[in-house]
Amino acid sequence: MRTAARRFGTALALALVGSFLMIAPASAERECLREGMVQQPDGSMVYGCVEWSAGSPGDSGGGSGGGGDTAPACTFRGSIYNEFCIGDRACFMNDPAAYQDVEAIRERGGTISDKPDDADHIIHVGCIGPDDTEYENWYWDSEFETVSVRDRLVAAYGRIVLPDVTPVFNPPNRTLVNLETWFWAQGASATPVVGSEALGLVAIAEPRAMVVTAAGQSVTCPVVTSRSDACSMTFGRAGTHTASMRITYDIRFELDGSPFTVPPGNEQFLTMESTDSVTVPVIEVQSLVTELG
């Protein structure tokens, strides 16, 4: 039963980390001081160690605030250990676990306390380390201190991959003074961009507007992705101008397909931008009028 794990497996707990350390003690040289979201090379976010203690003499590691020494990213393994990371371990979660019988779990060699409350159910977490050591743990759901809403927003926001944008103008190659010049965003999407699920949330980027700025002027247009006169401007003087294009997206979130309300104080997760620029040569056509007759 992994449906809930796909939705909330990912609702990690600080208690998890401590329990794993009990099974496989951390190196005496370094100790994790603070857990949180760690950005991966592909831009996604996973839960791991964001601050380490100073190591023993000769160890180059050290505690650091933001942007310091971070935990190595785990590598997802196969079709099972591919839901989230705890440090360098790739993990999955079954919520609820297939086994809801304490004695059956203990007979399998598992460790779990007596049921704390009649309403509690058992969660199963399995992980594999970089040395192929497997870890299996069971927990009561009330024992978990879940990650914060902000961590979820950060993770889901980081899973949005906006398409590359290439500004294009017409007439191609060069335009003329006072001639209407069209602009569009080649490769952009005029439809919503959906990120992959992260910590139970999905972020969706809705294109709002496209702004083209050049030669001291700006025009705001709908997001135009193919040749069209829907976004145009004229240049009043000849020269080589740089036209910058900015596409703004409004971000919304969903939890299990239903709208998720972003709490106050997290406004930075409500927008996203994609920008690029293009060089526009502008020439002036000179007319020669002669009197005939």
In this prediction, residue 9 carries a pLDDT of 37
Burial-class residue 233 by CB neighbours within 10 Å (0-12, 13-18, 19+).
buried
* Domains of the chain from N-terminus onward: 3-147 (no CATH), 160-283 (2.60.40.10)
**Among 161, 194, 162, 200, which Cα is nearest to 44's?**
161
Higher per-residue pLDDT: 110 or 7 = 110
| Cα atoms in the Cβ-side hemisphere of radius 13 Å centred on 90 | 14
**How is 197-220 classified by DSSP, letter by letter?**
PBTTEEEEEEEEEEEEEETTEEEE
Neighbours of 33 (CB within 10 A): 13
The torsion angles phi and psi of 44, rounded to 5 degrees, stand at -80, 170
Angstrom CA distances, 98 to 125, 136, 142, 224, 277, stand at 11, 13, 17, 50, 54
What dihedral do alpha carbons 156, 158, 162, 167 form, nearest 10°? 140
- For the ranges 47-51, 56-60, 66-70, 155-159, the maximum mean pLDDT occurs at 155-159
Asked if 276 and 165 count as a contact pair (C-beta separation under 8 A), the reply is yes
Neighbours of 116 (CB within 10 A): 11
Tokens of 227: 């040749």
Per-residue pLDDT averaged across 195-213, rounded?
92
Q: What is the reported pTM? A: 0.54
Confidence class for position 245, pLDDT limits 50, 70, 90: very high
Asked if 80 and 42 count as a contact pair (C-beta separation under 8 A), the reply is no
